[in-house]
């Protein structure tokens, strides 16, 4: 089970309303490279990791991504707080208002709703962790883009912190990938060696059987033929 602490990982206190930035920031809530997709990706993939080391890491990071969802949601809420209808229209959020009023809803920056098609779970640890490393790098890039779109230090601070966590997660996944790659390669080498030994033993056994059968056949041929007479005749000549 998760141990829930009723506080954000990083303090958020945005004082200035900015609906335009709220519209951009929602992509890290419900977009393809966002925190919700990351949390579900890791919490699903963890079950088929080969050992507890992988299961624990994906559980830890998946849990932290849920905390990042809280941070992003809080930022969006504070950026939109007390917005008038005219301000919502000017920011292009009137369509959102029509469906959800001022409630949060996971979409990307273009209003496309969140979908689980944003992530995969193959059961192959190397394939899944490769996706995880790529996801962390893409999230880092998106946070850098978002930082470029604002000058508000109350917004930049949390975004910088979130960006840094993507780098940390990437490094942890990279370590896990290298660990599993070495482990699986060693297992494959051992399996191949066992196969080679078995194949060699089988080949030797087949060879012995083949030679034994050929010797018996040759003896039978000599007994049933005039080879001995021919050889004696050659010697006499």
Report the number of distinct structural domains present in the chain: 1
Q: What's the confidence (pLDDT) of residue 2?
A: 72
Sign of CA dihedral 100, 75, 139, 50: negative
Whether 166 has a pLDDT exceeding 50, the answer reads: yes
Would 207 be classed as within a structural domain?
Answer: no
Would 14 be classed as within a structural domain?
Answer: no
Q: How confident is the model at residue 228 (pLDDT cuts 50, 70, 90)?
A: very low
Which is more confidently placed, 3 or 197?
Answer: 3
Which residue is listed with tokens 């030994």? Answer: 197
Enclosing domain of residue 51: 19-186
Q: How confident is the model at residue 231 (pLDDT cuts 50, 70, 90)?
A: very low
Q: Are residues 62 and 42 in contact, defined by beta-carbon separation less than 8 angstroms?
A: yes
- Lowest-pLDDT range, 64-78, 82-96, 198-212? 198-212
Whether 112 has a pLDDT exceeding 60, the answer reads: yes
Paired strand residues for 46: none
Whether 91 has a pLDDT exceeding 90, the answer reads: yes
Would 1 be classed as within a structural domain?
Answer: no
Give CA–CA dist 180/53, Å, rounded: 10
Residue 132's CB is within 10 A of a number of other CB atoms, namely 26
Would 8 be classed as within a structural domain?
Answer: no
CATH number at residue 170: 1.20.1260.10
- Region 141-163: mean pLDDT is 98
Which phi and psi (to 5°) does residue 206 adopt? -65, -40
Q: Which of 2-6, 67-71, 226-230 has the highest mean pLDDT?
A: 67-71
pLDDT tens across 185-219, in order?
Answer: 988 766 666 666 565 556 655 555 655 565 555 45
Would 232 be classed as within a structural domain?
Answer: no
- Region 155-172: mean pLDDT is 98
Would 198 be classed as within a structural domain?
Answer: no
Query: How far apart, in Å, are the Cα atoms of 215 and each of 15, 212, 227?
Result: 97, 5, 16
- Mean per-residue pLDDT over the chain, rounded: 87
Share of the chain above pLDDT 70, in %: 79
Would 2 be classed as within a structural domain?
Answer: no
Would 235 be classed as within a structural domain?
Answer: no
């Amino acid at each position: 089970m998760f141990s829930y602490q009723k506080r954000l990982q990083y303090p958020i206190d945005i004082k200035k309303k900015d609906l335009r930035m709220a519209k951009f920031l929602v992509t890290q809530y419900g977009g393809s490279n966002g925190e919700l997709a990351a949390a579900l990706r890791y919490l699903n993939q963890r079950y088929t990791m080969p050992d507890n080391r992988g299961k624990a890491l994906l559980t830890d990071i998946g849990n932290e991504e849920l905390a990042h969802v809280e941070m992003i949601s809080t930022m969006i809420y504070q950026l939109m707080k007390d917005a008038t209808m005219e301000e919502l229209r000017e920011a292009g959020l009137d369509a959102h208002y029509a469906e959800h009023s001022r409630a949060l809803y996971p979409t990307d920056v273009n209003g496309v709703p969140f979908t689980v098609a944003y992530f995969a779970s193959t059961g192959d640890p190397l394939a899944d962790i490769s996706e995880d490393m790529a996801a962390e790098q893409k999230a880092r890039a998106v946070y850098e883009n978002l930082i470029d779109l604002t000058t508000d230090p109350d917004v930049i601070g949390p975004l910088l912190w979130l960006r840094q966590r993507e780098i940390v997660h990437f490094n942890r996944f990279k370590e896990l990938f290298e660990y599993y790659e070495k482990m699986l390669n060693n297992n494959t080498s051992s399996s191949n060696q066992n196969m080679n030994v078995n194949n060699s033993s089988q080949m030797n056994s087949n060879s012995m059987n083949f030679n034994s059968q050929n010797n018996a056949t040759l003896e039978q041929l000599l007994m049933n033929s005039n080879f001995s007479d021919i050889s004696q005749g050659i010697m006499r000549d």
